C-alpha cells in the first residue's frame, strides 16, 4: 500500500496537455494498491522495486485518463495485505463514484525538479 496526497494526470485538449491533481476532496491521504519485490542479483546486490496497480478510471475521471491507481478503502487494507483470508481480486476495481475529485493544477507539476505541497494548489 502506498499513501499519497494525490496523483497527477494530464488531460488532452487538442495539442495541449492540462495537468490535474486527483485525490480526496478534503485532501486527506489516498491509499493506493501497490506490489513490491526485493530482487537479489547473482553477486548479492539488492534492488527494491515497486509498482502501483491500476484499474479502469471511474466514469467521472475517464475524460482525464482511461485508467487510475487502485484506491483502497481502509476496510480493504487487511485483505490487500493478506492479514485476513480472502481473495484480493475483487478489490481491483475503480474507486466508488464520487470518492475521488480532480482539480486543475499549475504546469510546475510537469517538471520532476519541482516538489512540495504548493504543487497541489488549484490553478487560477
How does pLDDT run across 93-110, given as a tens digit for each residue?
999 899 999 999 999 998
Q: How far apart are CA 76 and CA 66, in angstroms?
A: 23
Report long-range pairs for 118-123 (Cβ below 8 Å, ≥24 apart): 119/21, 120/5, 120/6, 120/21, 120/23, 120/27, 123/19
Supply the pLDDT for residue 50.
93
Give CA–CA dist 110/50, Å, rounded. Answer: 22
Residue 124 in this model has a pLDDT that exceeds 80: no
pLDDT, tens digit (0-9, with 9 covering 90-100), for 8-28:
999 988 889 999 999 998 889
pLDDT of res. 2? 92
pTM above 0.85, yes or no: no
- Other CB atoms within 10 A of residue 67 CB: 13
Q: Which domains does the chain have, with CATH numbers?
A: 2-120 (3.90.1680.10)
**Mean pLDDT, the chain, integer:** 91
- Looking at the predicted structure, is the pLDDT value of residue 116 above 80? yes
Query: 58-92: per-residue pLDDT in tens?
Result: 999 998 999 999 999 999 999 999 899 888 889 99
Percent of all residues in the chain with a pLDDT value above 70, rounded to a whole number: 100
Amino acid at each position: 500500500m502506498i499513501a499519497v496526497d494525490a496523483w497527477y494526470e494530464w488531460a488532452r485538449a487538442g495539442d495541449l496537455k492540462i495537468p490535474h491533481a486527483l485525490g480526496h476532496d478534503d485532501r486527506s491521504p489516498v491509499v493506493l494498491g501497490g506490489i513490491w519485490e526485493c530482487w537479489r542479483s547473482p553477486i548479492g546486490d539488492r534492488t527494491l522495486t515497486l509498482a502501483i496497480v491500476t484499474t479502469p478510471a471511474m466514469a467521472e475521471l475517464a475524460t482525464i485518463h482511461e485508467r487510475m491507481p487502485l484506491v483502497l478503502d481502509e476496510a480493504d487494507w487487511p485483505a490487500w495485505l493478506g492479514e485476513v483470508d480472502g481473495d484480493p481480486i475483487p478489490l481491483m476495481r475503480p474507486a466508488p463514484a464520487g470518492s475521488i475529485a480532480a482539480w486543475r493544477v499549475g504546469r510546475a507539476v510537469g517538471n520532476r525538479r519541482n516538489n512540495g505541497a504548493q504543487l497541489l494548489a488549484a490553478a487560477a
